[in-house]
Amino acid sequence: MDIKIYDKLAKKYDFMVNLVSFGIEEIWRRIFVKELKKHIQNGVLVDVASATGKMAKSLDFDKMYLIEPSEEMVKVIIQNFKKLGYIQDGFRLKKNNKEIYIIKSTAEDFRIDEKADLIVSFMGIRNFDDIKKGIKNLDSYLKVGGYFGIVEMVRRDDFLGKLVLWYMNKVVPFIASFFGMKREYEKLGESVASFKEEDILKNFKEYDIIVNKSLFPMAKMFILKKEK
Ligand SMILES: C[S@@+](CC[C@H](N)C(=O)[O-])C[C@H]1O[C@@H](n2cnc3c(N)ncnc32)[C@H](O)[C@@H]1O
């Protein structure tokens, strides 16, 4: 995905998401966090495609790596955590026993020095330029026995799916045009139109599927466990 889109969106991102999704994305996030916490409560977290850092804020693990390529999003992440009392030291943020490392890079290319207990991608995977390479790189940083949690919008071909696509391709860009972001939202709508559940799952053949749930109206939640 063109990072410039997200650079432009960064400051208004959370507001726009809430506006165009009628708050549904936040409900998905809450469902996802609740489900993840049933399996794992703390440890080392990698949150990929972090945007403004909301997943990390919600999961609140002791050590968190936020992988985000957009420079403007990175600035928003730093601001958001400073508001929560974190002290900044370059790309490291610290508060009491909690540490956050902000890695300005892509899923495909990032490098860190340790393995995670949990990797999460909330509406992230669809944005990777090379999904196979991104997931392979992420997998190399997950401990055996660790979890990979995913929420993503995926295409469905029934009436509801067509209605959501129409809304995303026509109505959302119209709403976004009032904020000078019509073309950006057209591109985001196009990326949903062709993305299928299989595009995710074919990269996790070695994992156990712990949770595979549809989220109304057009997303999937997966929690996968790395067995070897
Ligand atoms: C829809 S937002 C993710 C939302 C976020 N996870 C949340 O919890 O609200 C997509 C993010 O993916 C990032 N992105 C784009 N290409 C990427 C890549 N190749 N690897 C990782 N992140 C990428 C964008 O900069 C953007 O911030």
99-151 pLDDT, tens per residue? Answer: 999 999 999 999 999 999 999 999 999 999 999 999 999 999 999 999 999 99
Helix (H) or strand (E) holding 211: strand 207-215
pLDDT at 184: 84
Q: Whose CA is nearest to atom 25 of ligand 1?
A: 70
Question: What separation in Å is there between the alpha carbon of 176 and the centre of ligand 1?
Answer: 19
pTM for the predicted model, two decimal places: 0.96
Taking alpha carbons only, the member of 220, 171, 182, 175 closest to residue 199 is: 220
Architecture of domain 3-226 in this structure: 3-Layer(aba) Sandwich (3.40)
Q: Band the pLDDT of 85: cuts 50, 70, 90.
A: very high
Q: Is the pLDDT of residue 34 over 90?
A: yes
- In whole angstroms, what is the distance from residue 107 CA to residue 66 CA? 10
Residues near 126 by Cβ (< 8 Å), separated by ≥ 6? 1, 152, 153, 191, 192, 195
pLDDT at 185: 86
Instruction: Please say whether the beta carbons of 144 and 113 come within 8 A.
Output: no
Question: What separation in Å is there between the alpha carbon of 206 and the centre of ligand 1?
Answer: 25
Q: Whose CA is nearest to atom 17 of ligand 1?
A: 128
Report the residue among 47, 67, 68, 192 best suited for mutation to probe ligand 1: largest number of ligand atoms under 8 A from its CB.
68
Ligand 1 proximity of 53 Cβ (cutoff 6 Å) = no
pLDDT at 183: 85
The mean pLDDT of the chain is 95
Structure confidence by residue, pLDDT tens digits, 174-222? 999 998 888 888 888 888 878 899 999 999 999 999 999 999 999 999 9
pLDDT at 189: 82
Ligand 1 proximity of 149 Cβ (cutoff 6 Å) = no
For 17, other C-beta atoms within 10 Å of its C-beta total: 19
pLDDT at 180: 86
**Degrees, nearest 5: CA angle 69-73-78:** 110
Q: Band the pLDDT of 223: cuts 50, 70, 90.
A: very high
Ligand 1 nearest-atom number relative to CA 130: 19
